Amino acid sequence: MSDLRCLGWMRNLRLLLLTLGLLSAAMCNPAWAHKPSDSYLTLRQDQDGLHGQWDIALRDLDFAIGLDQDGNGELNWDEVRSKHQDIAAYALSRLSLTVDGKACPLKPGQQLIDQHSDGTYTVLMFEAACKGEKIALHYQLFFDIDPQHKGLLNLINKEGVTATAIFSPDNAAQQFTLAEVSKLQQFTDYVQHGVWHIWIGFDHILFLLSLLLPAVLVLRQGAWEAAGDFRSALLEVVKIVTAFTLAHSITLSLAALQIIALPSRWVESAIAASVILAALNNLFPLFQGKRWLVAFAFGLIHGFGFASVLADLGLPQTALVLALVGFNVGVELGQLTIVAAFLPVAYLLRRQRVYRQGIFQLGSVLIVLIAAIWLVERVFDVKLISA
């Protein structure tokens, strides 16, 4: 029996270390919580060929080719402008385009500066004077230095219908037929974007986990004990997820349709604060039995965060509602995947001390610390753990 008990504790210890490792990875992630490293590529078709716009984060370009000439840790317009030729050469050498099976050269144009929700981007314009319907793209930007990087594509045909795609090291070459872009494909594309962005939205994930951690426990006389049955734990999770979903769906829609707009910095700061408060509630319980109210209240703020991501992606005007619904469905599917992975494991471990004192209590402390650093960064516009 002692050997079996020892093996059980070793398994629990490994699970605890895995949990701490995942939280540490989120804390040390070299970017803001929503988007570790993305670029935004738009190709628009007209009678003359294809016109491109490529938004690339300056922080990524600085790491790749060195933009900060004086080494003071800050980029200015003169430093970026002096590197325009280098930026164009570096980026376009990592993007190849064929039209109807023939290689299509890319001609660089002007470069601008734009602000996205996670920082400053250079905007590289380029032309591809090739006509045809079958487009093949091979995307390799930053893959050699950042395997987590993603390229987000908007491909707009002559009728204004938009197809989207996500390029990654495992999916660097993709093909499209412009004349065959359908409403169903648009919906499916934005579902994929929604799933991907909830999975990389570390602040959203930590907020949700903070609310889910006590779902398999009950508070009796100031002490946390294991919940009696799976049904009660599941019901608690359903209430939390439903409230969070309803709330962020409301504000995501209002913001995406430009009915309400809030400054991105305020939203990101409020999201970090919501993570802190949700985790502190596990350590100093105030809203037991009403965590769904917390999920709803702060879910309204998180909806604005999702909207900023959707704004960066671009909503096709010809299918505005369809894309919005698809993105929201994707967010929910990604969220349910996280819940489905978490709840059974948490329920099985709920009676173990490693869960109550390790994963639950220590995990909540770590979440508070991570979110506190995010909050300081966002309120004071400083970089502590972010790149």
Give, for 45, the enclosing helix (H) or strand (E). Answer: strand 38-46
Quickly count helices (H) and strands (E) in the chain.
12, 12
Say how far apart CA 152 and CA 37 lie, in whole Å. Answer: 10
Say how far apart CA 29 and CA 209 lie, in whole Å. Answer: 18
In terms of C-beta density within 10 A (0-12 exposed, 13-18 middle, 19 or more buried), how is residue 88 classed? buried
User: Global pTM?
Assistant: 0.75
pLDDT at residue 31 is higher than 50:
no
Q: What is the structure's pLDDT at 3?
A: 53
Q: What is the structure's pLDDT at 20?
A: 47
pLDDT at residue 18 is higher than 80:
no
Q: What is the structure's pLDDT at 164?
A: 84
Reported as a single tens digit per residue, the pLDDT across 58-112 is 999 999 999 998 888 889 999 999 999 999 999 999 999 999 999 999 999 999 9
Say how far apart CA 225 and CA 82 lie, in whole Å. Answer: 62
Q: Worst-scoring range by mean pLDDT, 23-27, 43-47, 221-225, 323-327? A: 23-27
Q: What is the structure's pLDDT at 30?
A: 40
